Each structure stands twice: as C-alpha cells, then as structure tokens.
Amino acid sequence: MTKLQMYQKLLFGTRAISYRYYTMVLKRLGMDILFLVVVSLFSCNRYPVEDTDFLRNLMLTKPSQFDSLLAKKDVFEIQILYTQINRDEQNIPHFKSFSYNMDRNMYFYPASTVKLPLVLLSLEKLHELGIAGLNKYTRMLSDSVYSGQLSVHKDTTSEDGYPSVAHYSKKILIVSDNDAYNRLYEFMGQREINRRLQKKGYRVSFLHRLERPLSLDENRYTEAIRFIDSGDTNKVIYRQEMGENVTPFFRRDTILKGRGYINRNGELVMAPFDFTYKNSYPLEDQQEVLKALLFPKAVASYRTFNISEEDRHFVLQYMSQYPHETYFPPYYKDSSLYDSYCKFLLFGEGTKKIPHNIRIFNKVGDAYGYLIDNAYIVDFDRQVEFLLSAVIHTNSDGIFNDGKYEYSAIGFPFMKNIGQLLYEYELQRKKKRKPDLWEFRFMYDYQ
C-alpha cells in the first residue's frame, strides 16, 4: 500500500467518497500538498464504485447534465437499465446489470417500442405454420370486414409493389412506421400476441393499434388476411379469417395520469388521462426481449423466439440499418431521415452522420411526452458493447394530446447524455477478454 493510499484509508476508510467531500476534509486539515495529490488522483479515476447506487453516482459526476433531472426523477418518471456484457473464453456473453429508479409498477406509455416484439412474433408465426411458399417475403393482403378496419392490397414503396411481413418489418425497424405495426398486429391478433409473449415470461399487455382511434371492441377484431403467390395473384397460399379476441387481456388496475387532455373533438377536458387500456411494456421486459434476440443461446430457451437464423439476421440488419442505406422503401432519398432519426441514446436528435465504427441495434418510442429507447450499442473499433434502456417523461403542463412536450429541451438531451456517459464508462472499463463482434457486422442495402 502506498503512502497516499494509507492517507486515503485513514481519512475515509473504504467508502466511495465524492470529490466535494475529499476537498472539504483535506482543506480543513490544512494538508495542502496531500490535497493537490489526492485531487489529481481523483480526477484521473473519477468513476464511482459499481454498487446499487452506481448509475446515480455516475450521473452525479455530470451535474450540469443530470442534477435537475435527478432532483425530480419521479416527476420525469425516469427509469434506466444498464447491462454490462462480459465474454468468456468461448465468447459467450455474461451479464451484469445496474438500474436507476426502476419500478415495473410505475406505468409509462411504451409507444413504438411494442413494435419489435410484433416483428419477432410475426416471423415466429410464419416459421411455425410451415407452409410451402409462405415466408416473410410472400405478398400479404389485408381485407376490411369489420368496423374500423382498412384494406391494403398494394405498397408502392416495396420492390414488387406489394406488402409483405418482410417489408412491414423493414419499415418498423428502420423508421418505426405505425401502419406497418398495425398490419403485423392484425396478422398476429390481439389474443395471440399476449398469449405468446406472456408464455415466454414477458409481463406485457398489447391492446391496440397505433395512430388509429379505435374502440376497445374494434381493437379486439383484426382484418382478414391473404398471402398470395407472386406468379399467380389469384392463388392463395394461406388464408386467415378475421380474428377475434373473445377473452381480452385488459389491465386490472386503473391508470390515470396528468391533470387534463385534449379529446377527439379538440376540446380541453380537465380530468386525468386514462391509460388503463393502453399498451403496457415494462422497461425490464423490453431489454429482456432485446437480449433474447441478440443472444438467444445466453438466455433461457422459453424466452427466445422460434425463428430461423436467417430471420434473426434479417431483424438485426434492419434494426441497425440507417435510412440513407435503404433502397426499399426509398428512404435514402429523404434528407429528413438522418442517421439518428430512430437512435435516441448517444445521439439524441443530432442530424450528423453516426461514425462508421458505431452501430445501434434498438427500438425507440415517443408519444404522450414519453421518450424511450431500448438499445444494444456497439463500437467495433474499440470492441465496446453494452445494453442500455431508458425512459423519460416530458409533459410539464400535465395536459395530454396538446402536442406540448419538452422532447427537444429535456428528453433528447437526456437520452444523448446518458448514452454518452455510459459509452465513455465502457471505453475505460476493464474486461478480461475483448468481445468478438463479428456476428453483428452486416452488409447493408445501400452503402
């Protein structure tokens, strides 16, 4: 033990001490020389110990970015789940998680994050049907047969002009398309979605389509669907009649938030907004779904999705592909679809190109003032990888549906800063073995 370490132990024991506390004690003791040395040492090793308060203490090292949020963590409904990945000699991942303010009983609206499980369930359903000629590229037509339903027989953004599970999945994974989610919701059906996910141990409740103001009854019924042959449009490979959930999976507890909302007639109603029959997808379950996709051999088999390895690679490619790399749909033509369009963590709402060495495999969501990102972040050059999931609510006036949310002022900066903070921590974190990340390198559509 060095003399400096002896001084530290004598003064502070083995406790994790803040910079402010160090300086206060040393100044009062008049130990000027030791003060300079210890302050120098502290600045070189400024990270807190990895205990139950690790994330909070780590954020405290950036007071200008996080202090005001930490002081009102429950107002902002902040939840963070950070998972380190440590590889063994066979490159098998092992996980160590740290959380901040996590509470699965603290409801937040999951917005578009529900779309990733729908992609995986749709691929699983096709795989298990096992019908010759039926796969994710087969043309999929939707027929309206009930109130609130919409027919779809064409898609001009696809390569062949027809919709398919593959094309809907690409739209979801790259730009978070709402209509594409609705079509996969209809293919799966409300009951089957919840039955399958809950059987896998995910505590979710998916009850409705997105951006379509349908009643509880209308969301229980789903369009009739036909998968047709690419050579003969009159040949039906698989037909699915209208679905009906006769035993709805409704939440039992009432969820009321805020102090008012704008109703469908554009009128202000001064009463809490009812989220009771909205989708529910806790942050912990979001990360577990992502983990099951990324590392299926490292999680319990019942939590994984029964899809082919080719389908798994398809999902991983498109959830990490940028709009400018995409021909169909022709997102590369749309300059408003910048790299971080659906990459909140690490980049916020920045419009610059993301460095070539970084890829983010994720699913974001934003609605009703909530911002959510559930991500696996990789730096191939520096051999860094980690899982990070976070949610924040920015609705200071407590009015829902008024379009007045502090996404830019509070939400996106938080997402960017927490992502960068943990990325910087990962850069210096010591690991016994560097990860081999070859399986997460992909050839993208347009490079």
- Name the pLDDT band for 4 (thresholds 50, 70, 90): very low
Q: Is the pLDDT confidence value at 305 over 80?
A: yes
Closest CA to 176 of 227, 150, 211: 211
* β 224-228/236-240 pair status: antiparallel
Return the pLDDT at 30.
52
Question: Which token pair is 38?
Answer: 């210890």
Rg of the chain in Å (alpha carbons): 24
Q: Is the pLDDT confidence value at 29 over 90?
A: no
For residue 280, the cross-strand partners are 205
SS3 133: coil
Q: Report the b/e string of 342-368 with b at 16+ CB within 10 A.
A: bbbbbbbbeeeebeeebbbbbbbbbbb
Q: Whole-model pTM above 0.85? A: yes
Q: Please write the tens of the pLDDT for every residue from 132-172.
A: 999 999 999 999 999 999 999 999 999 999 999 999 999 99
Q: Please write the tens of the pLDDT for every residue from 435-447.
A: 999 999 999 998 5
- Name the pLDDT band for 253 (thresholds 50, 70, 90): confident
Provide mean pLDDT across the span 304-313. Answer: 98
Q: Please write the tens of the pLDDT for every residue from 330-364.
A: 999 999 999 999 999 999 999 999 999 999 999 99
- Name the pLDDT band for 294 (thresholds 50, 70, 90): very high
Return the pLDDT at 122.
98
Q: Is the pLDDT confidence value at 386 over 80?
A: yes
Q: Is the pLDDT confidence value at 37 over 50?
A: no
SS3 282: coil
Q: DSSP labels for 23-66?
A: HHHHHHTT-HHHHHHHHHHHHHS-PPPSSTTHHHHHHHTSHHHH
Q: Is the pLDDT confidence value at 82 over 90?
A: yes
Handedness of CA 199, 204, 207, 210 (dihedral sign): negative
